[in-house]
Chain A
Amino acid sequence: SFVVTQPPSVSVAPGETARITCRGDTIERRGAHWYQQKPGQAPVLVMYYDSDRPSGIPERFSGHNSGNTATLTISRVEAGDEADYHCQLWDISGYHRVFGGGTKLTVL
């Protein structure tokens, strides 16, 4: 089965750049989507099809997908960005959606 791997945690200081990765076989061809989830809240879509940003999501959020790694980049990180970030991919062989395990972003 298709396995997607995210680092459990990433820590950055305010104003720095956070990079959250999502790794899997041939991930470049699968179109990565990213969700932000704050404690006690439902997930919110922050990036789709690798690098498209939904309306209302700050330009500080960007995305890239190459080879076996999709990356969500948050520039000029703010305290309000502290959350869990989940990637979602499409398993072409199994014909279903797969989520990564989620990454907790801590703003120091």
Chain B
Amino acid sequence: EVQLVQSGAEVKKPGESLKISCTGSGYKFSTYWIGWVRQMPGKGLEWMGLIYAGDSDTIYSPSFRGQVSISVDTSINTAFLQLSGLAISDTAIYYCARPLCRDGCPFDYWGQGTLVTVSS
């Protein structure tokens, strides 16, 4: 069974940094892409970027390029989303999800989401 399991909820102060993890199981992790999606409170989904686990090839949404960093460690089947210089507006649920391919494919499996709260 394919599963994506994310790290737990975080509470951070403005200006701090954060690294969220997403561990895949039940499939050959290194042969798939992993994407990250943000959902701000009461809002829709926003695609942030993708990484190919096999070679760390990374694509960022123009809206998030330079604001976040996506990485992967295939030795532990885990992808990471790093957020730096956190602002109150970064408060959101962050999901990892597995797309069937790089360009335009749907996300067939999702992590459970990681709630990030940024508050002074």
Q: Which residues of A contact B (CB under 8 A)?
A: 1, 30-31, 33, 35, 42-45, 48-49, 54, 84, 86, 88, 90, 94-102
Q: Are A97 and B44 in contact (CB under 8 A)?
A: no
Q: With A99-B47, A100-B44 given, is the CB distance from A42 to B106 under 8 Å?
A: no
Task: Tell me, in angstroms, the Cα distance from A35 to B37 when the chains sit together.
Answer: 13
Please indicate the chain A residues that have their CB under 8 angstroms from the CB of B108 in the complex: 45, 48, 54
Q: Which residue of A lies closest to B103 (CB)?
A: A90
- Give, as a whole number of angstroms, the nearest-CB distance from B22 to chain A: 12
Report the contact-size class of chain B (Cβ under 8 Å from the partner). 20 to 34
From B44, B59, B104, B112, A99 is in contact (CB under 8 Å) with B44
- Give, as a whole number of angstroms, the nearest-CB distance from B9 to chain A: 13
- Give, as a whole number of angstroms, the nearest-CB distance from B40 to chain A: 11
What string of 1s and 0s marks CB contacts (under 8 Å) between B99-120 and chain A? 0000110111011110000000
Task: Tell me, in angstroms, the Cα distance from A14 to B59 when the chains sit together.
Answer: 42
Please indicate the chain B residues that have their CB under 8 angstroms from the CB of A35 in the complex: 45, 107
Q: Are A43 and B61 in contact (CB under 8 A)?
A: no
Please indicate the chain B residues that have their CB under 8 angstroms from the CB of A33 in the complex: 106-107
Please indicate the chain A residues that have their CB under 8 angstroms from the CB of B29 in the complex: none
